[in-house]
Amino acid sequence: MIDFLALAKKYGTPLYVYDFDAMQAQYEALKEAFKGRKSILAYAIKANSNISVIQHFATLGAGADCVSIGEVRRALLAGVAPYKIIFSGVGKRDDEIQEALASNILYINVESDAELSRVELIAKRLGMAARISIRVNPNIDPKTHPYISTGLHDNKFGVDINTAKRMYLRANNSEYLDPIGIHFHIGSQLTELEPIREAAIIVADLVRSLQTVNIDLKFFDIGGGLGIRYRDEETIEPYEYAQAILSTLTALELTVVCEPGRFLTANAGYFLTKVLYEKCHDHKRFVIVDGAMNDLLRPSLYGAYHRIEVIGKEDVEPTVADIVGPVCESGDFLAKSYPLPSLEHNDLLIVHSAGAYGFGMGSNYNTRGRSAEVAVENTKSRLIRQRESFEDLIALETPYLKR
């Protein structure tokens, strides 16, 4: 059990707390599910980009799925092997592509014909053959929130099957491109298995058609997106997930690349915030806390639900309240109409399932310093990112003040 009161007292609030033992258990469960096939679990850094979190997965053997050159640099700094690093994302700049190629990462996931041209040109300048994968958009409805759907033709990601075929033929005939993988990712927070299976069938069939023209790929990149339980979702078991994928790869000798993010970190993370005071008017109850939308954006951005626990008042009869922060926006809330007991100054709230897309989506809006981050491992805690000070926030501005 994590002593949240002790952590809040030691490190202050707002505060992110990550259970590294729980993260390891999730990683090992997914790795075990794919044990019958060569596989790379490339941790999706965007879920939680703290370097200590990345390092923790690297020590377990994980690779890294990166969507910016900054994430590639984080992965390398954290000790991820270059041959396990993948660079994805729709809008890669030339300098990012060049740096990724110079870093000798496993491959670049190419998202368009225009991007393929840029990669080829840059590889030619460097006098090398760029290892690439092409992201295929299988046009499968992932049945998730529209903001995190990525596998439909309405989404900006990837290319359709026919375009992918043309791109592979072109890459295979290029001196400066080495097509070694194929990639798809239909969305995040996936809780239904059938769309994943359907997408894998489509992409595996494309691999077989490429083999008939002597394009032999080595990596079958299934993306990530495995959902977790925030409230009462029915989630997919890792074994069932793996079997659904592997069943589509009959007679194909491919290494499976999986890019889990939320699945590994979300339920291993907690956001701690203290009550400042309560406020009531027109029969509306507000609980005002020191955490805000700049700390945890998901409720404001997606209307996302997080379970919220009050320490020490479990037996007090609750009434509904909006939990709101100090930011000057009506959209600044952590929950609406949430049942809570009567609260007092300095009571501690624990926001569960906050280990993914929490701190990383934070900001300094209203000149608020971002929260500290703490890791708990083998019952011991350690600071992995200090709380931002006012001086940190203005450090890049003060040199340019008029004197």
Q: Do 75 and 54 touch, CB atoms closer than 8 A?
A: yes
Pairing of strands 380-385, 372-377: antiparallel
Pairing of strands 372-377, 130-135: unpaired
* Residue 11 φ then ψ, to 5°: -110, -10
Angle at 309 between CA 305 and CA 311, to 5 degrees: 165
Query: Angle formed by the axes of helices 193-211 and 161-172, to 10°?
Result: 40
Please, which residues have CB within 8 angstroms of residue 194's CB and are 6 or more apart in sequence?
A: none
Is 344 strand, coil or helix? coil
Beta carbons of 312 and 347 less than 8 angstroms apart = yes
Can you tell me the distance from the alpha carbon of 257 to that of 179, in angstroms, rounded to the nearest whole number? Answer: 15
Both structure tokens of 400: 């340019």
Catalytic residue among 66, 258, 280, 328: 328
Look at residues 207, 299, 270 and name the one whose alpha carbon lies nearest to residue 23.
Answer: 270
Contact (CB, 8 A) for 147 and 156: no
Q: What span, in angstroms and rounded, lies between the C-alpha atoms of 23 and 17?
A: 12
Is the Cα torsion angle 287, 291, 294, 300 positive or negative in sign? negative
Q: Cβ of 116: how many Cβ atoms within 10 Å?
A: 24
* Amino acid, single-letter form, for residue 312: G
Q: List CB contacts of 22: < 8 A, sequence separation 6 or more.
A: 267, 268
Active site residue 258: no
Q: Among all residues, which ones are annotated catalytic?
A: 328
